[in-house]
């Protein structure tokens, strides 16, 4: 047996082991078992059916699944090399305004094109998504934590640009005094805010990011994570549900209810984010689904606190307690002086914190100045099924945009001020 075949079989065996051990913690849910949680009444309207066969299954990195494709499809599926990617970026249409296009100069390209990072990641792994998707906003992903050093001439420029900082001087974590927070419910009337969510991303410091990960790495990471999650207690105690073995109906329901991720983001797919899908991925949550952990979605880990209504204080406090508990549970997270916590996408590093509300703003969102209004408060509007989705029924996801160059409590306060301003403006119109 050749080595690669053995590795594949070992990885499959290891995956089974994790799955069966984690199932003891919480049997795969059926739709009927999914408890209620934040789910705006109009939120289901535009959800598309999950594809029977995902693109990542069709387009594995080993190219083994393209039998029967036409020549044109095979050409489309072919993995482009660095020069071809660069050419695509050079030939990008004038509407391409990605940070990749803006910051990857010929000089930087020439400087970086032959470099390799610690986990053997290359420039093509970092820029593939942005070259294949010239409508990207950012267009760059780090192939591993070391990419932030090896490919710094590109990544530093993108980070400065996205986070609007002139120096990469991220402060030490500061969550504020959670016993003395000067905010509570941002919408006590309950008329406008449907739900509130705060998340952070964390990366295991001994693994690369999706482009360089092997199936067995994801399985190992999942195993370590589940061990740490088992130690959570009190309100945070919950169960882990691997995607492998979870019914399609349960996945769909959990996704529509805003708890679970799926494999539908073409930007992330192009970056390798769905390689070996769904192996090594899963979700942990407590009984009330107010604390959740995503395993091997875009980042190795996403810690999420969420609930219906506008009580930012409760949501944030729960998250801070969870971060503290998980930091002392044996996991070790990738961090870098000046950059804070490292994530796959440079838009997320630093605090990695995104605090959002789903909020009804049918009037403000229709004004021509809506984007400028958001920019003024450093907030961002997304659709309600996540990034790159549309609003449904005038409900938007409003969150802090900056995650670097400010502390966690400052990022929360920035979001709070923005949401308060949004509410005041909507009421005026
Ligand atoms: P992130 O990058 O923070 O994970 P996404 O935009 O990809 O965010 O959204 C992930 C999921 O979280 C989606 O299902 C989205 O609807 C849900 N979500 C985000 N903010 C809220 C919120 N305030 N209330 C309920 N669900 C939310
Ligand atoms: C883009 O460049 O538009 C996508 N790669 C998404 C960038 C930011 N979002 C993210 O990391 N989820």
pLDDT tens for 110-154 read 999 999 999 999 999 999 999 999 999 999 999 999 999 999 999
Is the model's pLDDT at 19 over the cut of 50?
Answer: no
Considering every ligand atom shown, identify the ligand nearest to the alpha carbon of residue 96 and give its number. Answer: 2
Apex CA 427: angle with CA 422 and CA 429, to 5°?
A: 100
Listed residue (291, 389, 295) closest to 48, CA to CA = 389
Q: Cα–Cα distances in Å, from 146 out to 118, 142, 157?
A: 6, 8, 16
Spatial neighbors of 251 by CB under 8 A, at least 6 apart, are 50, 243, 260, 262
pLDDT tens for 289-302 read 999 999 999 999 99
Is the minimum distance from the CB of 137 to ligand 2 under 6 angstroms? yes
pLDDT of amino acid 72: 66
- Percent of the chain scored above 90 by pLDDT? 78
pLDDT of amino acid 71: 67
pLDDT of amino acid 385: 81
Instruction: Compute the distance between CA of residue 303 and CA of residue 322 in angstroms, rounded to an integer.
Output: 8
DSSP-derived letter for residue 416 is H
Strand partners, 301: 202, 295
Instruction: Compute the distance between CA of residue 134 and CA of residue 132 in angstroms, rounded to an integer.
Output: 6
Is the model's pLDDT at 34 over the cut of 90?
Answer: no
Report how far ligand 2's centroid is from the alpha carbon of 7 (Å): 32
Is the minimum distance from the CB of 99 to ligand 2 under 6 angstroms? no
For the chain, what percentages of helix, strand and coil (3-state, to nearest 5) are there?
40, 15, 45
Residues within a 6 A CB radius of ligand 1: 38, 195-197, 199, 258, 302, 306, 354, 356-358, 382, 384-387, 397
Rounded mean pLDDT of 338-359?
A: 97
Confidence of residue 43 (pLDDT cuts 50, 70, 90): very low
pLDDT tens for 301-336 read 999 999 999 999 999 999 999 999 999 998 999 999
pLDDT tens for 220-246 read 999 999 999 999 999 999 999 999 999
273 is known to lie in a ligand binding site: no
Report how far ligand 2's centroid is from the alpha carbon of 267 (Å): 7
Confidence of residue 11 (pLDDT cuts 50, 70, 90): very low
Is the model's pLDDT at 54 over the cut of 70?
Answer: no
116 is known to lie in a ligand binding site: no
Read off the pTM: 0.84
Which three-class secondary structure state does DSSP give residue 113? coil
Residue 159's CB is within 10 A of a number of other CB atoms, namely: 26
Choice between 190 and 46, residue whose per-residue pLDDT is larger: 190
Can you say whether the dihedral through the CA atoms of 33, 38, 44, 47 is positive or negative? negative
Report how far ligand 2's centroid is from the alpha carbon of 136 (Å): 7
14 is known to lie in a ligand binding site: no
* 171's tokens: 């402060």
195 is known to lie in a ligand binding site: yes
End-to-end CA distance of the chain: 70
Which three-class secondary structure state does DSSP give residue 95? coil
Instruction: Compute the distance between CA of residue 79 and CA of residue 129 in angstroms, rounded to an integer.
Output: 12
Confidence of residue 18 (pLDDT cuts 50, 70, 90): very low
Is the model's pLDDT at 404 over the cut of 70?
Answer: yes
Note the residue count of the chain.
Answer: 429
pLDDT tens for 261-276 read 999 999 999 999 999 9
Instruction: Compute the distance between CA of residue 225 and CA of residue 221 in angstroms, rounded to an integer.
Output: 6
pLDDT of amino acid 384: 85
């Amino acid at each position: 047996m050749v080595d690669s075949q053995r590795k594949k079989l070992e990885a499959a065996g290891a995956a089974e082991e994790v799955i069966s051990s984690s199932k003891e913690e919480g049997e795969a849910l059926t739709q009927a078992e999914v408890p209620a949680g934040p789910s705006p009444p109009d939120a289901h309207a535009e959800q598309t059916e999950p594809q029977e066969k995902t693109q990542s299954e069709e387009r594995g990195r080993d190219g083994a699944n393209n039998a029967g494709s036409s020549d044109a499809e095979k050409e489309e599926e072919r993995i482009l090399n660095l020069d071809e990617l660069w050419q695509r970026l050079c030939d990008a249409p004038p509407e391409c305004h990605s940070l990749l296009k803006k910051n990857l100069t010929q000089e930087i390209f020439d400087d970086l094109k032959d470099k390799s990072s610690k986990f053997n990641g290359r420039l093509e792994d970092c820029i593939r998504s942005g070259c294949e998707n010239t409508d990207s906003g950012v267009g760059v992903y780090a192939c591993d934590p070391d990419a932030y050093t090896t490919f710094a001439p590109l990544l530093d420029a993108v980070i400065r640009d996205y986070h609007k900082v002139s120096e990469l001087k991220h402060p030490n974590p500061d969550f504020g005094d959670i016993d003395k927070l000067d905010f509570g419910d941002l919408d006590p009337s309950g008329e406008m805010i449907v739900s509130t969510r705060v998340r952070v991303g964390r990366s295991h410091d001994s693994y690369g990011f999706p482009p360089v990960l092997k199936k067995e790495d994801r399985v190992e990471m999942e195993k370590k994570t589940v061990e740490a999650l088992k130690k959570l207690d009190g309100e945070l105690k919950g169960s882990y549900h691997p995607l492998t073995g979870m019914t399609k109906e349960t996945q769909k329901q959990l996704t529509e209810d805003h708890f679970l991720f799926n494999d539908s983001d073409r930007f992330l797919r192009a970056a390798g984010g769905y390689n070996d899908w769904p192996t090594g991925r899963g979700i942990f949550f407590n009984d009330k689904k107010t604390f959740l952990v995503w395993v091997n979605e875009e980042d190795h880990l996403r810690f999420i606190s969420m609930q219906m209504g506008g009580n930012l204080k409760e949501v944030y406090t729960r998250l801070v307690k969870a971060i503290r508990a998980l930091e002392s549970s044996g996991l070790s997270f990738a961090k870098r002086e000046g950059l804070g916590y490292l994530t796959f996408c440079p838009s997320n590093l630093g605090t990695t914190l995104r605090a959002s509300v789903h909020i009804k703003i049918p009037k403000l969102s229709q004004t021509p100045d809506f984007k400028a209004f958001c920019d003024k408060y450093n907030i961002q509007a997304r659709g309600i099924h996540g990034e790159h989705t549309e609003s449904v029924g005038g409900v938007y996801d409003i969150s802090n945009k900056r995650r670097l160059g400010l502390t966690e409590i400052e990022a929360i306060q920035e979001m709070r001020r923005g949401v308060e301003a949004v509410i005041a403006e909507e009421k005026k119109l």
